[in-house]
């Protein structure tokens, strides 16, 4: 029998609140001035008391609406006890028995729970014989999501993480930049030949989607090799070395008993039914359209999946496309607009200082309509696009002024065709000898001479007439 891998993910996401989770310090963990956003509460000075951040709790409940999770009416914060320099209190305020959310799903992956806790400080171990600690991150609101162990390959895990990042950004509750540690993925991996789970190994330090997939794939192979050689898998925490593309042992895996969880006596219980801002009705009023719903909507418009993913992955592009659909209900125009937007416009924006805010949606839709109506060719449309940024004139006015409107008059195409035939007599003869591909070359030369203004089909038909 072959081995079956089983994977469960734990994902931490820093929330976009103005202040930290239990104090009024700025939520700016990346501040260049180290240890500047600290106070007696997040530094655990004697006598200081934590006060929960209401906005952070609201964000978690909002996420719950997006993944159809069960929101808890009763919840509480617990103390997770362990000693490490990045925890000044020697415990982390987290949640254990009563998380804010249970159940739900994302990308058909079932969720176990979602809870809220405070982030730890940032340790720097590359300073020679010393390790330094920056407490700007200590106390930042951290949402932790735990999936059920229902993932069976590295690619599915990576896809889930990407979708989660997109959802967090769509809800505007986290920027979720993995390279900045704003979203951190941990994978619990086991392999087994039976229906019973194998020994679980947790892999930490996965700071990119590529690392998530590579680490899981490596760990699956490592565990199989250990078992096949007669060894046993140790329940442990392992790190991921991006340079060596392999996992390495860090420590024995702790259990819940090791952390000695107990309810934090300084923080009141949370009763969501007593807080109107946590109600389902209010959250449904403020929740934006989530990616899974957008996909269905855009698919119904006839957009290809590649264009859909480009649009929904970029908030600004998505808003712009929404502006397009408010301008026209013509499905052909909408599909054509999506094509130009996700290819030509995106390319322009990435290779220049142009701003999409300077491209009026009315002008963009009109440009696409000119292509649909065959008043201009695709090449002309692509060339005109940069001129439309910040333009006051309409695409039709610009095309008319520059003689770019498509020529469909055979009398106007005649001189162009005569020149093409005269300059490429050898290719003309090849066509007459039966080489059909030569016609494409002749049409291309005609389009070049007309600067893209000729109707290509009519140009082709007229050249054939001349050569018959």
51-109: pLDDT as tens digits: 999 999 999 999 999 999 999 999 999 999 988 888 889 999 999 999 999 999 999 99
Residue range 423-456, pLDDT digits in tens: 898 888 888 888 888 888 988 898 888 777 777 8
Residue range 267-284, pLDDT digits in tens: 999 999 899 999 999 999
Is pLDDT at 364 greater than 90 in this prediction? yes
Exposed / middle / buried, residue 454 (Cβ in 10 Å: 0-12, 13-18, 19+):
buried
Mean pLDDT of the chain: 93
What are residue 86's phi and psi, to 5 degrees? -85, 0
CA distances from 232 to 237, 239, 250, 254 (A): 15, 19, 17, 18
Is pLDDT at 290 greater than 80 in this prediction? yes
What's the pLDDT score for residue 139? 96
Give CA–CA dist 73/144, Å, rounded: 19
- Domain covering 410-467, topology: Arc Repressor Mutant, subunit A (1.10.10)
**What beta strand segments (E) does 195-328 contain?**
201-206, 236-241, 246-252, 262-263, 270-271
What's the pLDDT score for residue 196? 92
Is pLDDT at 26 greater than 90 in this prediction? yes
Count Cβ atoms below 10 Å from residue 54 Cβ, excluding itself.
Answer: 13
Is pLDDT at 166 greater than 80 in this prediction? yes
Is pLDDT at 257 greater than 90 in this prediction? no
Encoding tokens for residue 400?
């008319």
Arithmetic mean of pLDDT, 18-31: 96
Arithmetic mean of pLDDT, 286-298: 96
Contact 132, 123 (CB under 8 A): yes
Give CA–CA dist 80/39, Å, rounded: 21
- Domain chopping of the chain, boundaries: 4-280, 289-401, 410-467
What's the pLDDT score for residue 194? 92
Beta-bridge partner residues of 107:
none
DSSP H or E segment with residue 416: helix 410-423
Residue range 215-255, pLDDT digits in tens: 999 999 999 999 999 999 999 999 999 999 999 999 886 67
Arithmetic mean of pLDDT, 351-364: 95
What's the pLDDT score for residue 409? 65
Give CA–CA dist 306/283, Å, rounded: 31
Q: What's the number of CA atoms in the CB half-sphere (13 Å) around residue 119?
A: 28
Is pLDDT at 187 greater than 90 in this prediction? yes
Arithmetic mean of pLDDT, 329-340: 96
What's the pLDDT score for residue 82? 87
Cβ-based neighbours of 127, under 8 Å, separated by 6 or more? none
DSSP H or E segment with residue 188: strand 183-192
DSSP 121-134: PEEEEEETTEEEEE
Listed residue (407, 406, 461) closest to 442, CA to CA: 461
Q: How much is the pTM? A: 0.87
């Amino acid at each position: 029998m072959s081995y079956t891998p089983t994977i469960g993910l734990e994902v931490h996401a820093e929330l976009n609140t103005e202040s930290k989770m239990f104090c009024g310090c700025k939520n700016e963990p990346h501040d260049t001035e180290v240890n500047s956003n600290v106070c007696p509460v997040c530094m655990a000075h004697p006598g200081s008391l934590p006060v929960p951040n209401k906005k952070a709790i609201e964000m978690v409940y909002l996420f719950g609406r997006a993944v159809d999770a069960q929101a808890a009416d009763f919840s509480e914060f617990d103390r997770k006890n362990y000693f490490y320099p990045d925890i000044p209190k020697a415990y982390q305020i987290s949640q254990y028995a009563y998380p804010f959310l249970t159940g739900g799903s994302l990308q058909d992956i079932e969720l176990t729970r979602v809870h809220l806790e405070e982030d730890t400080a940032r340790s720097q171990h590359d300073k020679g014989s010393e390790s330094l600690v920056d407490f700007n991150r200590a106390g930042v609101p951290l949402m932790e999501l735990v999936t059920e162990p229902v993932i069976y390959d590295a690619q599915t895990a990576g896809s889930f993480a990407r979708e989660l990042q997109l959802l967090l950004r769509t809800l505007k509750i986290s920027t979720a930049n993995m390279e900045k540690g704003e979203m951190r993925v941990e994978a619990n991996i086991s392999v087994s030949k039976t229906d019973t789970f194998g020994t679980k190994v947790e892999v930490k330090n996965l700071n990119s989607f590529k690392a998530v997939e590579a680490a899981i794939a490596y760990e699956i192979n490592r565990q199989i090799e250990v078992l096949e050689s007669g060894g046993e898998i140790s329940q442990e925490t392992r790190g991921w070395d991006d340079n060596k593309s392999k996992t390495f042992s860090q420590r024995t895996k702790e259990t819940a008993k090791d952390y000695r969880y107990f309810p934090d006596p300084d923080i009141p219980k949370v009763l969501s039914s007593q807080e109107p801002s946590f109600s389902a009705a209010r959250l449904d009023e403020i929740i934006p359209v989530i990616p899974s719903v957008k996909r269905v909507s855009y698919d119904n418009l006839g957009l290809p999946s590649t264009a859909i993913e480009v649009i929904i992955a970029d908030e600004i592009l998505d808003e712009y496309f929404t502006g397009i659909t408010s301008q026209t209900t013509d499905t052909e125009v909408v599909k054509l607009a999506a094509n130009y937007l996700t290819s030509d416009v995106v390319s322009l924006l990435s290779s220049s200082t142009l701003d999409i805010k300077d491209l009026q949606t009315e002008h963009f839709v009109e440009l696409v309509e000119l292509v649909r109506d065959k008043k201009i060719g695709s090449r002309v449309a692509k060339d005109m696009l940069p001129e439309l940024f910040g333009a006051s004139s309409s695409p039709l006015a610009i095309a008319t002024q520059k003689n770019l409107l498509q020529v469909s008059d055979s009398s106007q195409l005649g001189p162009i065709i005569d020149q093409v035939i005269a300059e490429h007599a050898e290719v003309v003869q090849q066509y007459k000898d039966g080489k059909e591909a030569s016609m494409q070359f002749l049409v291309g030369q005609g389009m070049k001479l007309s600067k893209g203004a000729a109707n290509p089909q009519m140009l082709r038909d007229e050249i054939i007439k001349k050569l018959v």
